């Protein structure tokens, strides 16, 4: 009943094809394979990957879930840059009819475009990215003014969806695998600014540790590539200031 065409206007011209190089392999070995995918008016990088799996190579592996930039599962390296593929229109990234798609960097490869995010989340926990309560479900919710300085700082950083794009873009993570990385410290920063949290001293100690904020050289890759337009570099700078104050007081 309903037409659902997504093709360019009917013409005598042959279909426009995109030449797509996709990294295929696993943790041990791999390389690029080339596919030709028809161009569509409405087409994201995720759609291109999906087309390949559905029509050209049924064994191609990739991750996705929500399709709308909320779950952070579909991060890949596209033409050398980390991005969400569900929210990247093909026309934004295709150059000379070509496209290269690889798994996110700084993560262990599982298969093809899917990576293991376990170390990324281990660091999230290590950076004390989990709230430590001081109240219970039987207490009233704390009144906190939304325009307080702390809350504004936390709000500016809190909309991270842990997609790993910043982590993948970070040079320091590449050099020093123990580094907690921009996403974990960014989350920690929101808690440093949360008066409800009960582990401030312990958190600052971790942030001041060898794996912590001092590793950041402010290359700004995280801020450049964050698809949510967050600025983890700024959060890390905030953490550095707090750590410094704590150090002067002999607390870390």
Cα angle, residue 132 at apex, residues 129 and 137 outer, rounded to 5°: 130
Cα angle, residue 248 at apex, residues 243 and 250 outer, rounded to 5°: 90
Please report whether residue 145 would count as binding another protein according to CB under 8 A: yes
Please report whether residue 125 would count as binding another protein according to CB under 8 A: yes
Cβ 18 vs Cβ 44: under 8 Å? no
Please report whether residue 87 would count as binding another protein according to CB under 8 A: yes
Nearer to another protein, 123 or 240 (CB): 123
Q: Which of 80, 143, 210, 249 binds another protein (CB under 8 A)?
A: 143
Binding string to another protein for residues 35 to 64, with x set by CB under 8 A, is what? Answer: -----xxxxx-xx--xx-xxx--xxxxxxx
Say how far apart CA 222 and CA 90 lie, in whole Å.
22
Q: Which of 81, 105, 110, 156 binds another protein (CB under 8 A)?
A: 110
Cβ 167 vs Cβ 183: under 8 Å? yes
Taking contact as CB under 8 A, which single stretch among the options 88-96, 201-209, 214-222, 230-238 is the one that binds another protein?
88-96
Nearer to another protein, 62 or 179 (CB): 62
Q: Which of 68, 95, 149, 248 binds another protein (CB under 8 A)?
A: 68
Min CB(112)–another protein separation in Å: 8
Q: What would you report as the CA-atom Rg of the chain, rounded to the nearest whole angstrom?
A: 21
Please report whether residue 119 would count as binding another protein according to CB under 8 A: no
Question: Residue with structure tokens 């907690």?
Answer: 180
Backbone CA torsion sign across 109, 81, 15, 51:
positive
User: What tokens appear for 240 in the block?
Assistant: 């550095």
Q: Which of 131, 209, 220, 244 binds another protein (CB under 8 A)?
A: 131
Please report whether residue 169 would count as binding another protein according to CB under 8 A: no
Please report whether residue 3 would count as binding another protein according to CB under 8 A: yes
Residue 142: CA count within 13 A, CB half-sphere: 12
């Amino acid at each position: 009943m309903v037409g659902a065409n997504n093709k360019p206007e009917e013409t005598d011209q042959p279909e426009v094809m995109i030449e797509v190089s996709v990294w295929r392999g696993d943790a041990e070995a791999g390389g690029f394979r080339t596919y030709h995918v028809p161009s569509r008016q409405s087409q994201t990088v995720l759609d291109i990957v999906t087309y390949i799996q559905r029509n050209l190579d049924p064994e191609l592996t990739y991750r996705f879930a929500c399709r709308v930039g909320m779950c952070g599962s579909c991060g890949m390296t596209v033409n050398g840059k980390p991005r969400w593929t569900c929210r990247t229109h093909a026309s934004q990234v295709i150059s000379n009819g070509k496209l290269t798609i690889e798994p996110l960097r700084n993560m262990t490869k599982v298969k093809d475009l899917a990576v293991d995010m376990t170390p990324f989340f281990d660091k999230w926990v290590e950076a004390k990215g989990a709230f430590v309560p001081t109240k219970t479900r039987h207490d009233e919710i704390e009144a906190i003014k939304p325009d307080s300085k702390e809350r504004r700082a936390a709000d500016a950083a809190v909309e991270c969806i842990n997609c790993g794009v910043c982590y993948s873009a970070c040079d320091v993570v590449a050099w020093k695998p123990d580094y907690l990385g921009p996403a974990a410290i960014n989350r920690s920063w929101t808690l440093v600014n949360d008066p409800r949290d009960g582990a401030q001293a312990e958190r600052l100690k971790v942030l001041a540790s060898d794996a912590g904020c001092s590793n950041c050289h402010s290359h700004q890759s995280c801020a450049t590539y964050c698809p949510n337009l967050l600025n983890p570099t700024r959060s890390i700078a905030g953490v550095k200031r707090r750590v410094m104050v704590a150090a002067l007081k002999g607390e870390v």
